[in-house]
Amino acid sequence: MRTSRRFLSAAAFALTAALTAVVCPPAAGHAEAARTGLRGADPSVLRVGNTYVAVQSTGGGIAVRQASSTDALASAPARQVWSDGAGHGEVWAPEIVRDGGRYYIYFSAGRGPDHRMYVIGSDSPDSGYGAERKLALPEDKWAIDGSLFTFEGQRWFVWSGWAGETNVEQNLYVARMSDPTTPTGARYVISQPRESWERVVGDPFVNEGPEPVRDPNGQLHVVYSANGSWSEQYCLGDLRLKAGGDPAYVWDWYKSNGCLFGSDGATMMPGWDPTLYVNGPGHHSFVLADGDINTSPPAGPRFPLMFHAVPKGTPYAWENRYWYTGTFAWWGDTTYTRANSPGAASDTGWSLKFFE
């Protein structure tokens, strides 16, 4: 066990648990290390009241499921809300968010280097979506795995993309949004796959699946997937924005010194253990109330998480991926270090522990 964890007093823990029940209660009937019956990748789930809403690609379209718990999503009917009538091509990693009481689903579509981000919107989670709209992301480069979030009153869009026109590496970018469908200003790189633990599998090297969350101090995190999704080296790493930092300035971000959730002990951050039951966990979803990072849970108990992985003992292949329910908890007094970069060489704050 990591000795630097910031433990809560019994009174503080009780207060935190009470707040948690209001802010983001664990999924009803949740069981740890639970493989759902959904064979697929890239879960995106949010909670609205007592209902869990999930979105997934269906080959040539996008479907939404609703259930009373994360575990029940697999048996819930899938309602198709969008079809690729324009023939864009491969539809990847839809992400559902809620903004101003309205639902937006962001997804990537295209063939090969033509992948770009699109959005559809509706007042209802599983019906009423109109035609897709291409997001006018700055520089109009290859883009996947995008999501909207609001931090300190400003909307942002975060995604995985290429610096240029060729598939050298996948970086993480952010851009400001003037509303849920309109990017404004420049794009800013916040992470590149340059650490040894995220360069175990390449061609290309990968940072993708960015998911924002806010820690108990109010600091912004972007938890993302590293290494190729075609490999059991796939894992989750963390970017933590320093206190008072600017999300658009790359050197205000500090990266975990290894995987925080993965199946290879050699790539794990010191003090974090590899998985026992799955290989290559990645492209997760924090199950937040209204999908809003401002409802991110406080320190203390564990909170719902969904991710995709391959069961141990099963050949690692895309077609063997399943959605899993898991949990996460905040882990305090964790130092991330870096070298040969502007600013302080280390930053200490909250990190995350993930549980199968």
> What does the pLDDT look like over 131-149, one tens digit per residue?
999 999 999 999 999 999 9
Number of helices and strands (H, E) in the chain?
A: 1, 21
Instruction: With beta carbons less than 8 A apart as the criterion, state whether 121 and 130 touch.
Output: yes
Residue 15 binned pLDDT confidence (cut-offs 50, 70, 90)? very low
Residue 234 has pLDDT above 50, yes or no: yes
Lowest mean per-residue pLDDT among 21-30, 36-45, 303-312, 337-346? 21-30
Residue with tokens 């999300």: 247
Q: What global pTM score does this model have?
A: 0.91
- Kindly state the average pLDDT of the residues 270-281: 97
Residue 216 has pLDDT above 80, yes or no: yes
Q: Could you give the percent of the chain with pLDDT greater than 70?
A: 91
Cα 348-349-351 angle, rounded to 5 deg: 115
Tell me, what's the pLDDT at 9?
32
Who has greater pLDDT, 160 or 17?
160
SS3 299: coil
Q: Who's near 181: CB < 8 A, 6+ residues apart?
A: 104, 119, 121, 133, 135
Residue 33 binned pLDDT confidence (cut-offs 50, 70, 90)? low
Write out the H or E segment, with its range, that includes residue 37: strand 34-39
Write out pLDDT tens, residues 238-269: 999 999 999 999 999 999 999 999 999 999 99
- Kindly state the average pLDDT of the residues 271-291: 97
Q: Whole-number mean pLDDT of the chain?
A: 91
- Kindly state the average pLDDT of the residues 178-201: 97
Strands 182-191 and 205-214: unpaired
Residue with tokens 């882990």: 331
Rounded Cα gap, residues 272 and 199, in angstroms: 19
Residue 4 has pLDDT above 80, yes or no: no
Instruction: With beta carbons less than 8 A apart as the criterion, state whether 227 and 234 touch.
Output: yes
Residue 59 binned pLDDT confidence (cut-offs 50, 70, 90)? confident
Residue 22 has what DSSP assignment? H
Tell me, what's the pLDDT at 62?
98
The residues that bridge with 185 in the sheet, in sequence order, are none
Q: Could you give the percent of the chain with pLDDT greater than 90?
A: 89
